[in-house]
C-alpha cells in the first residue's frame, strides 16, 4: 500500500466532477486500500478519490473511535431521509487547518457498491451522514468552503496559497 498525495485548496483539480466507476477490479481495490491508508496517515475520517487526483466516484470513511472500521462507497447515491439540518464544524484534508460550521441533513440513505462490487443500501445519521455528504461534495467538485461567506473563503484561500509558496 502507499500513501497518496492529497490535493489542497485552491487547486483547480478539486473542482473536477468525478465520473462513475465502470468496473470494480484489482486496480480499483488497490486504490481503495491506498486511499484508506492515506486517510489514516492524514488523521482524516473521510477521503474522496477526487482529493487524490483520481476523478472516479469513490470515497472512503471511518468514523470509528479505534479507526478500524473503514467503509467504502463506489458510485454513491444519496437520498435525504430527514430535512432536519445538523450543524457541524467541518474540516477537510484538502483545506488543512481550517474548520467552519456547515449545515447538512442529519439523516440520509446511501445506495452504492462496496469494495468488492456488491450493491448495498444503508441509512446513516449524525457524523456518518455529514461526512458522507461532505465527501460526495468532493466527487461533485465542491468543497466545504463553498458553504461559507466569500470573505471567509478568500481569507482561507490566501492563507493556503501563502503556505504553498513557503513550502515550494
What's the pLDDT tens digit per position in 66-91? Answer: 999 999 999 999 999 988 898 899 99
What mean pLDDT value characterizes the chain? 96
Q: Write out the CATH class of domain 12-167.
A: alpha beta
- Whether the per-residue pLDDT at 1 is higher than 90: the answer is no
Q: Which residues are annotated as a binding site?
A: 92, 134, 138
Domain ranges (residues) in the chain: 12-167
Distance between CA atoms of residues 70 and 63, nearest Å: 8
Distance between CA atoms of residues 88 and 11, nearest Å: 24
Catalogue the active-site residues: 135
Among residues 73, 83, 86, 72, which one has the least CA distance to residue 130? Answer: 86
The pTM assigned to this predicted structure is: 0.95
Q: Which residues are annotated as a binding site for Fe cation?
A: 92, 134, 138
Amino acid at each position: 500500500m502507499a500513501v497518496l498525495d492529497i490535493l489542497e485548496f485552491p487547486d483547480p483539480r478539486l473542482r473536477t466532477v468525478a465520473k462513475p466507476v465502470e468496473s470494480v477490479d484489482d486496480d480499483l481495490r488497490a486504490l481503495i486500500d491506498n486511499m484508506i491508508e492515506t486517510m489514516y496517515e492524514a488523521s482524516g475520517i473521510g477521503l474522496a478519490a477526487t482529493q487524490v487526483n483520481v476523478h472516479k466516484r469513490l470515497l472512503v470513511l471511518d468514523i470509528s473511535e479505534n479507526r478500524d472500521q473503514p467503509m467504502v462507497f463506489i458510485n454513491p447515491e444519496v437520498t435525504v431521509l430527514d430535512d432536519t439540518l445538523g450543524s457541524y464544524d467541518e474540516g477537510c484534508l484538502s483545506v488543512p487547518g481550517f474548520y467552519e460550521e456547515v449545515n447538512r441533513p442529519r439523516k440520509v440513505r446511501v445506495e452504492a457498491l462496496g469494495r468488492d462490487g456488491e450493491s448495498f443500501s444503508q441509512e446513516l445519521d449524525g457524523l456518518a451522514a455529514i461526512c458522507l455528504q461532505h465527501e460526495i461534495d468532493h466527487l461533485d467538485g465542491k468543497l466545504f468552503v463553498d458553504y461559507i461567506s466569500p470573505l471567509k473563503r478568500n481569507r482561507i484561500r490566501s492563507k493556503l496559497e501563502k503556505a504553498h509558496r513557503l513550502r515550494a
